[in-house]
């Protein structure tokens, strides 16, 4: 039984100030999410366990992602049921930012792998509560025919956050502890303009029900389009996680780059440039055409080709080309696919919870990615095998989007 929230949704288009404030909040959020994984956690673990750094980094990020799998939909469900004059989303955005900042600060001062893992899990708990709020404000307040464009703007910080974060922790706040503390402060500060200045509609009292475990199961039989949207997002993000988690080690051990840290920064800049080029443009095109699936399929294919290049050529020039190509594909993908997802949510009253379930498809690959990538690198073809696997998984995600029926 396929049912969705009313197709009309919000009717008033949001302005540039609203979008800019949400972009800033997301910039702080994604700096906190991704900069530690690519730079600070990698360096911290390389210091604590240099001989087993690949497996250890995989376990730490995997445990954090496991926390995210639980925290995001739970925070979303609680957000849907939050009342009061501050609205549904703002308390979770600012509260999650504060808790995430505490987690980053705790992680910064750890001197054991177990301590790092616990601190990172605390950070993930807070940051995913914040993500539940920032994700839900789009279907809450943005009309359907503007969602891909707005999602494109919001998608840019997902990559720009890593670039800005990497620049800050390598040039402004050098060192592991100062880097974490700077990210913690920015996570809170950049959330404040949206929390303090933007409206947040209050929930009706009838929507405030208790949270039940069964609420987190969205039956793919009753809601097949939601199920297919979840699976396609999971596969594409799994391919992305497998291809990017060991980037620092790939440059060091396979490409033999003389300065892997700088290499990661250059590749991230190229990737971000690609995202910036296609994210908003792809979203605007999708909104104007009223079509989602074709653009999702094409952008997934572009990302698969980028991984395929790294399967056969472990050279610095090819790595740069693949990074730019991956960014071009991901920019359009994240804008259009996010808009598609908001159109297959089962009920308007459960938006944050259902988006939290979708966000499991973003987080779960961080758990499974290391579990799959580590043995592939060690026993099944090294980095060539890793990127071939990422190619196949990403391409499959793009193909399965055609199973969605209710969205053109």
For residue 265, the model assigns a pLDDT of: 79
For residue 254, CA distances in Å to 59, 202, 283, 305 come to 22, 53, 36, 19
Contact 217, 130 (CB under 8 A): no
For residue 122, the model assigns a pLDDT of: 98
For residue 139, the model assigns a pLDDT of: 93
Non-local CB neighbours of 166 within 8 Å, separated by 6+ positions: 35, 38, 39, 264, 265, 268
Mean pLDDT by 10 residues, the chain (408 residues): 56 92 97 90 91 86 89 93 87 97 98 96 97 94 94 91 88 92 98 94 59 80 94 95 82 92 86 93 94 96 96 96 96 95 88 91 79 83 93 97 94
For residue 278, the model assigns a pLDDT of: 96
Instruction: Look at the block and give the residue holding tokens 């991230």.
Output: 268
* Token pair listed for 59: 């376990």
List, as own/partner pairs, every contact residues 316-321 make where C-beta atoms lie below 8 angstroms and the sequence separation is at least 24, other chains included: 316/255, 316/257, 316/263, 319/251, 319/255, 319/263, 319/267, 320/266, 320/267, 320/270
For residue 338, the model assigns a pLDDT of: 94
Exposure on the CB side of residue 148, measured as CA atoms within 13 A: 25
Contact 117, 390 (CB under 8 A): no
List, as own/partner pairs, every contact residues 168-173 make where C-beta atoms lie below 8 angstroms and the sequence separation is at least 24, other chains included: 168/31, 168/35, 169/35, 169/39, 169/40, 170/39, 170/261, 170/265
For residue 350, the model assigns a pLDDT of: 86
Contact 383, 250 (CB under 8 A): yes
Non-local CB neighbours of 197 within 8 Å, separated by 6+ positions: 17, 21
For residue 319, CA distances in Å to 171, 231, 322, 375, 395 come to 24, 28, 5, 22, 19
Going along the chain from its start, the domains and CATH numbers come out as 16-196+219-403 (1.20.1250.20)
For residue 19, CA distances in Å to 143, 151, 204, 276 come to 13, 9, 25, 16
* Token pair listed for 215: 């609420």
For residue 209, the model assigns a pLDDT of: 65
For residue 2, the model assigns a pLDDT of: 55
62 three-class SS: helix
Q: Give the C-alpha separation, 292 to 289, whole Å.
A: 9
Q: What angle do CA 66, 79, 38 make, to 5 degrees?
A: 35
> Which of 162, 171, 108 minimizes the C-alpha distance to 272?
162
Q: Give the C-alpha separation, 336 to 157, whole Å.
A: 15
Query: What does pTM read for this prediction?
Result: 0.86
Q: What angle do CA 34, 37, 39 make, to 5 degrees?
A: 100
Q: Give the C-alpha separation, 343 to 39, whole Å.
A: 36
Instruction: Look at the block and give the residue holding tokens 């720009």.
Output: 160
* Token pair listed for 366: 């961080």
């Amino acid at each position: 039984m396929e049912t969705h929230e009313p197709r009309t949704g919000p009717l008033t288009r949001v302005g540039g100030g609203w979008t800019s404030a949400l972009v800033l909040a997301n910039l702080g959020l994604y700096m906190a999410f991704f900069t530690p994984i690519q730079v600070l956690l990698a360096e911290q673990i390389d210091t604590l366990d240099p001989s087993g750094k690949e497996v250890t980094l995989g376990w730490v990020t995997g445990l954090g992602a496991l926390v995210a799998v639980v925290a995001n939909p739970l925070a979303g469900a609680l957000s849907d049921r939050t009342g009061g004059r501050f609205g549904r989303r703002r308390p979770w955005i600012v509260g999650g930012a504060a808790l995430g900042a505490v987690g980053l600060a705790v992680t910064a001062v750890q001197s054991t792998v177990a301590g790092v893992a616990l601190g990172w899990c605390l950070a993930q708990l807070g940051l995913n509560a914040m993500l539940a709020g920032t994700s839900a404000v789009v279907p809450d307040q943005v009309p359907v025919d503007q969602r891909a464009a707005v999602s494109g703007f919001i998608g840019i910080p997902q990559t720009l956050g890593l670039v800005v974060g990497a620049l800050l922790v390598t040039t402004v706040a050098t060192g592991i502890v100062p880097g974490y503390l700077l990210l913690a402060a920015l996570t809170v500060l950049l959330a404040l303009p949206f929390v303090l200045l933007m409206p947040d509609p209050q929930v009706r009292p009838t929507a405030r029900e208790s949270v039940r475990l069964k609420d987190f199961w969205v039956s793919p039989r009753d809601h097949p389009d939601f199920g297919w949207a979840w699976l396609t997002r999971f596969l594409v993000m799994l391919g992305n996680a497998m291809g990017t988690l060991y980037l620092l080690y790939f440059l060091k051990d396979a490409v033999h780059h003389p300065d892997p840290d700088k290499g990661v920064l250059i590749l991230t800049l190229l990737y971000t440039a690609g995202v910036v080029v296609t994210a908003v443009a792809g979203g605007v095109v999708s909104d104007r055409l009223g079509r989602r699936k074709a653009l999702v399929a094409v952008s997934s294919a572009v990302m698969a080709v980028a991984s395929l290049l790294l399967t056969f050529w472990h050279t610095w020039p090819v790595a740069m080309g693949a990074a730019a190509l991956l960014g071009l594909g991901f920019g359009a993908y994240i804008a259009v696919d996010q808009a598609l997802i908001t159109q297959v949510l089962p009920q308007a009253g459960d938006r944050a919870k259902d988006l939290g379930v979708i966000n499991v498809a973003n987080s779960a690959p961080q758990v499974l990615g290391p579990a799959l990538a580590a043995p592939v690198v060690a026993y099944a073809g090294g980095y060539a095998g890793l990127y071939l696997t990422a190619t196949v998984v990403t391409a499959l995600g793009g193909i399965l989007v055609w199973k969605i029926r209710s969205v053109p």
